[in-house]
Amino acid sequence: MQKIKIHEVGPRDGLQMEEKIVPTKTKIEWIEQLFQSAVDIIQLGSFVHPKHVPQMADTDELFKYFSKKKPSSIILSGLVLNEKGLERALNCDVDMVCLGVSASETHSMKNTNMHVEEALSRVITIAKEAQSAHKIVQLSVQSAFGCGYEGPISEDQVLNIVHAYLDAGFKNLSLADTAGHGTPEQVKHLFGRIFKLDDSLELTGHFHNTYAMAMADCYAAMETGVQTLESSFGGLGGCPFTKIAGGNVCTEDLVRMLHRMKSRQDIKLDPIIEVTKKAEKFLGRELTGMVCKTGGIKV
């Protein structure tokens, strides 16, 4: 397996469903500690209306604060849903713009109030504008392995969206298991089909642990050649627009697994564990990760 990149999405995906608002000062403290871990990418927030996702109200402020205060080795990403969101992202000098389309009609309507085809056309147009602004662009297919409302999603539905991305010239693609329905064999098969379309693609896996399959799915994705995995400290997170929201694969658990596989020894586990402990104290509950409780194992 090649060197896997870690995209920490805790500050965005991890916090977006929390009822207790995390103050900007606290987020800054947590993010600065995540810098110390030397993960590759950190997603600071999403450019959405604060009325819909109050936890993301300070996204612009966070990007402006960290624009000149981040390590040069770390990329800062932000989620964009529409044209206004991209305008805000460009004004904040975001490194990496993340956009996506759901393969599920029901999830697409609940998430964006658009049918899949309409959302796809709009997202590609926005992505081209971000690319013209010299930003890294990642395009995702959400609900790629199943939908909480519709159940199974056919691989052809996913591949239709992937083909549209490729035809538009984009090669940095992500498959998101929004509902947590994915299985390792399904992950291998679908990513394998996509790699057959173009073996130069940069592929990312985003797995939710709704049914306790996220770590197994990560391993299957790595075996298939996926280069980046998205995770959240403490296993926080979930999509507010799916039927049953489950947390992300836990960053410290994933990093610990990589360490045991003699991989990514450069990523420091202790700072991530410390952020999880601080988040547990702030939120007033135990989070789902295991390594925060047990510690790592020296290799």
Q: Which residues are catalytic?
A: 239
Residue 141, sorted as left (phi over 0), alpha (psi -120 to 50) or beta, turns out to be: beta
Those residues with Cβ within 8 angstroms of residue 24's Cβ, 6 or more apart along the chain or in another chain = 58, 61, 62
Residues 127, 138: contact at Cβ < 8 Å? no
Helix, strand, or coil (residue 175): strand
Rounded Cα–Cα distance for residues 10 and 63 (Å): 15
Interatomic CA distance for residues 237 and 232, integer angstroms = 7
Task: Compute CA distances 3 → 37, 227, 229, 268, whole Å.
Answer: 16, 7, 11, 15
CA distance 171 to 72: 23
User: What value, to the nearest 5°, has the Cα angle with vertex 286 and ends 281 and 289?
Assistant: 115
Residue 155 buriedness (CB in 10 A; 0-12 / 13-18 / 19+): middle
DSSP, collapsed to helix, strand or coil, labels residue 32 as helix
Q: Give the three-class secondary structure for 137.
A: strand
Other beta carbons within 10 angstroms of residue 192's beta carbon come to: 12
